[in-house]
Amino acid sequence: MTARSPEAPVLLRAVSAFLQSLIREEAAGGRDWEARIARNCVELVCRELALRPVHEPAQRQRLQTLLGSSETDLSTLDAQLCKALHAGEIHWSNPELSAHLRATTIEQLRIDNPRYLRLSGVTAPHEASGDSGKEAS
C-alpha cells in the first residue's frame, strides 16, 4: 500500500500545532492543562513513528546476544530477559545487561521525553557528539 498524502507525520504535526494554538488562547481558561497533555502526546507519537524503526533492530540484536536467543519479537525477548533475571540466570550486576538496559532506556526516552534526558545530562555512548538541539520539547 502506498502512503497517501498527507502522510501520518504531516497530519500529526498539524494536530500538534492546532493544540498549541489552544494552549495560547485558553491560557487563562480551564482546559489549558489538558491541551498541553494532548499536544505532548501527539509530539510523542511523532517521535515514535520516526525513531522506533531506527531503535528496534539494535535492541533486538542486543537482546538476542544477551540471551543467546534467535527470537525476533521484542516483547517476547523482554519477557525472556525478565525471566532470566528472576531466575538468576543473568545477574543484576552483569555489565552487558547494564549496557543494554541503559541504551534501551535512553532510546525509549528519546521518544517518551527527550527533555528528561537533557535534564539528566545523560547521552548514549554513540550520541556523545550531541544532537539535542533537534528535538523540540
Partner 1 sequence: MGDAGQERAADELIDKIEKAWSRQHQSRLQVTQLRRLSAGASADSFHLSATIDGGQDVEMVLQLFASARQFPGALGKVAQGHVARLAAASGITTPEVLLFTGPGDGLPEGFATRFQRGETVGRRIVTAEALAPARAQLTAQCARELAAIHALPVADFDMLHPFGARAQLDLLAGLHRDYGQPIPVFELAIQWLKAHLPGEYPEVVVHGDFRVGNLIVDDGGLVAVLDWEMAHIGDPMEDLAWLCIRPWRFGRLDLAMGGIGTRQALYEAYAQCGESQVDAARLRFWEVLGTLKWGVICQWFLHDTLASAQPSLERLAIGRRVSEVELDLLEVIEGHDCQIP
Chain residues in the site for partner 1 (CB under 8 A): 34, 37-38, 40-41, 44, 78-79, 81-83, 85-86, 88, 91-92, 97-98, 101-102, 104-106, 108-109, 111-113, 116-117, 119-122
Dist CA 72 CA 115 (whole Å)? 31
Please count the CA atoms within 13 angstroms of the CA of 52 that sit on its side-chain side.
8
**Least distance in angstroms from the C-beta of 55 to partner 1:** 12
For residue 29, report the phi and psi dihedrals to the nearest 5 degrees.
-85, -175
**Least distance in angstroms from the C-beta of 47 to partner 1:** 11
Which residue, 6 or 137, is less far from partner 1 as judged by CB? 137
Which residue, 49 or 97, is less far from partner 1 as judged by CB? 97
Q: DSSP letters along 29-78, please?
A: SSSHHHHHHHHHHHHHHHHHHHHHHHHHHHHHHHHHHHHT-----HHHHH
**Least distance in angstroms from the C-beta of 82 to partner 1:** 4
Which residue, 56 or 78, is less far from partner 1 as judged by CB? 78
**Least distance in angstroms from the C-beta of 128 to partner 1:** 16
Grid cell of 61 as nine digits: 540484536
